[in-house]
């Protein structure tokens, strides 16, 4: 199963970044139950503050088939994401607009010919950084393709995320944290799916070191994280 890191990417867009020449590389490995590395699944390059600069996703466990994402900034805010295959093909772009509080308000997706493929709007409550709802449109459609609602705990951490696509299909995620506000559990329930996919995360200090994913139709997957 592919990892889904985009929520982390959005986090840097919402909060701004401080560029640094000190880079850190993080690698996510698929392992067996004893921790033996089987293949890379995901790589992320960050600065010293943990802000994402570049990510690589390996597709279908194939190191020669991968997708790369890179980011551009202005005034410490993400303004553009470029994505494509690692061989340079299939490039597309996403641009970001912000409000006066440096919160992302609009994402616009373009293909390699600069034709608009979709856009997502984000609405907030008051001065909060917490996102209340996101609505995505395909191409120039007036009716939304999907909408995502977010529910938060009193301490501001995300508790529940509900996405509705096409007015009927849905996915719901729940999140739980430890006393240090670290994410320790997430689940994903998809309409018409095989069941609830469950994620369990383990930390050493402040560092994420491993996770276990329980997928109803395929079994348990194991991952470890390395920092270089």
* Predicted pLDDT at 160: 95
- Mean pLDDT per 10-residue run, the chain (228 residues)? 36 39 86 95 84 88 83 88 91 95 94 93 84 88 89 91 88 96 96 87 94 93 94
Residues in contact with 119: Cβ distance below 8 Å, sequence separation at least 6, in sequence order = 106, 107, 108, 109, 136, 137
Q: Which helix (H) or strand (E) holds 217?
A: none
Degrees, nearest 5: CA angle 84-52-26: 90
* Predicted pLDDT at 24: 87
Residue 74's closest CA among 16, 26, 121?
Answer: 16
Q: How far is CA 54 from CA 62, 102, 198, 208, in A?
A: 19, 21, 27, 18
Q: Where are the alpha helices (DSSP H) in the chain?
A: 6-15
* Predicted pLDDT at 63: 67
* Domains of the chain listed by start with CATH number: 6-227 (2.40.160.190)
Number of helices and strands in the chain (H, E): 1, 16
SS (H, E, C) 84-148: EECCCCCCEEEEEEECCCCCEEEEEEECCCCCEEEEEEEEECCCCCCEEEEEEEECCCCCCCEEE
* Predicted pLDDT at 140: 73
């Amino acid at each position: 199963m592919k990892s889904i890191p985009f929520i982390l990417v959005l986090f840097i867009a919402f909060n701004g970044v401080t560029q640094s020449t000190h880079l850190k590389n993080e690698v996510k490995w698929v392992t067996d139950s004893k921790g033996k590395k089987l293949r890379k699944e995901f790589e992320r390059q960050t600065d010293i503050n943990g802000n994402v600069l570049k990510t690589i996703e390996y597709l279908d466990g194939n190191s020669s088939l991968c997708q790369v994402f890179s980011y551009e900034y202005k005034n410490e805010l993400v303004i553009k994401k470029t994505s494509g295959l690692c061989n340079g093909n299939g490039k597309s772009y996403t641009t970001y607009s912000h409000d006066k509080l440096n919160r992302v308000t609009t994402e616009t997706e373009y293909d390699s010919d600069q034709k608009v493929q979709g856009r997502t709007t984000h609405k907030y409550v008051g001065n909060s950084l917490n996102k209340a709802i996101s609505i995505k449109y395909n191409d120039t459609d007036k009716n939304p393709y999907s909408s995502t609602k977010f529910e938060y705990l009193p301490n501001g951490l995300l508790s529940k995320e509900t996405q509705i696509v096409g007015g009927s299909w849905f996915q719901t995620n729940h999140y739980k944290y430890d006393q240090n506000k670290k994410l320790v559990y997430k689940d994903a329930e998809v309409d018409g799916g095989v069941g609830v996919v469950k994620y369990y995360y383990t930390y050493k200090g402040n560092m994420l070191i491993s996770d276990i994913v329980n997928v109803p139709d395929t079994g348990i997957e194991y991952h470890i994280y390395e920092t270089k």
